[in-house]
Amino acid sequence: MNRYLLDGIYTADPSAHVFDGRLYIYPSHDVEGGIPFNDNGDHFDMKDYHVFSLESIDGEATDHGPSLHVDDVPWAKRQMWAPDAAKKGDTYYFYFPAKDHDDIFRIGVASSDKPYGPFQPDENYIEGSFSIDPAVFEDDNDEYYMYFGGIWGGQLQRWKTGSYEDDDSEPSDEAPALCPKVAKMSDDMRGFAEEPVDVLILDKKGNPITAGDHNRRFFEAAWVHKFNGRYYFSYSTGNTHLLCYAIGDSPYGPFTYGGVILTPVIGWTTHHSICEFQGKWYLFHHDSRPSGGVTHLRSVKIAELTHRSDGTIEILDGMME
């Protein structure tokens, strides 16, 4: 199993969830904005979201149409990047990053009584939120946690002191790498129940992964899934174009580096989710093959994922068609 989700629309950064027995995929929606490539990611000028669903993994995807547009969000100015969704009770919550009117990335929430929306956004972004790539994990005890963060264009490096500063410097190569963040969600799913804290990724010796370790350090695209009672934190390394994972015993970590999930794909970015559906595990990711390698026009792919008996994950070839 290794196939593209659909034709006729460019989508990326897929977050996959099973709600009421059906698989729903919440991606970003790539468009041609006419903006030259740069490290800030301004060429990723997405303006809205579509939701897709499948009855079976090899079935045809249903496009449920536009679910939220930047013009619907009072606090948002531009760049509706990678989203996620969660269900609590009878309500579906949609989480998304966007730049506010000061060009600072924040994370917003919208809700609906349907998994595909349309979603009604809250008036303001989540208090205390910043950077990009929200991913909400529901634990077995019905607690929900949001993971987020992304460096370079995602602005995580501008929050080194705990408040926003217009400073893009990163730690020295020998220093611990910038960490993604995690916070438990409030009971109403519209905010944080606590201050976000660092998600620490360690090497096998228990030392923090360093900023210069570009093959293993966090860049963006946080995701958590649980397998055999353990927490798997997966992420993109960014400029080395790998998807990696680390394993821990708590949703807060620390997580010990476990290996590579996916080798580089065609196109600059790598962003994913991992989900169990109808008894099998799948990796949802994207590449730029259908657009001829255009970095900001990407297409969602689905591949079967295998956990080995020792808990490690088999490596997938990103160039496999």
Return the active site residues.
13, 220
Residue from 201, 262, 210 nearest 232 by CA: 201
Q: Are strands 201-202 and 255-262 parallel, antiparallel or unpaired?
A: parallel
The Cβ of residue 313 has, within 10 Å, a number of other Cβ atoms equal to 24
Q: Are 12 and 271 in contact (CB under 8 A)?
A: yes
Closest CA to 49 of 29, 72, 19, 71: 29
- Cα separation of 176 and 239, whole Å? 17
d(CA 301, CA 14): 9
> How far, in Å, CA of 100 to CA of 74, rounded?
9
Distances 77 to 99, 192, 232, 235 between C-alpha atoms, Å: 6, 23, 34, 27
Q: Residue 236 carries which side chain, given as an amino acid letter?
A: S
Distance of CA 178 to the CA centre of its chain: 17
Strands 105-112 and 91-100 turn out to be antiparallel
Q: Is 38 exposed, middle or buried (0-12, 13-18, 19+ CB in 10 A)?
A: exposed
- HSE at residue 45, side-chain half, CA atoms within 13 A, is 9
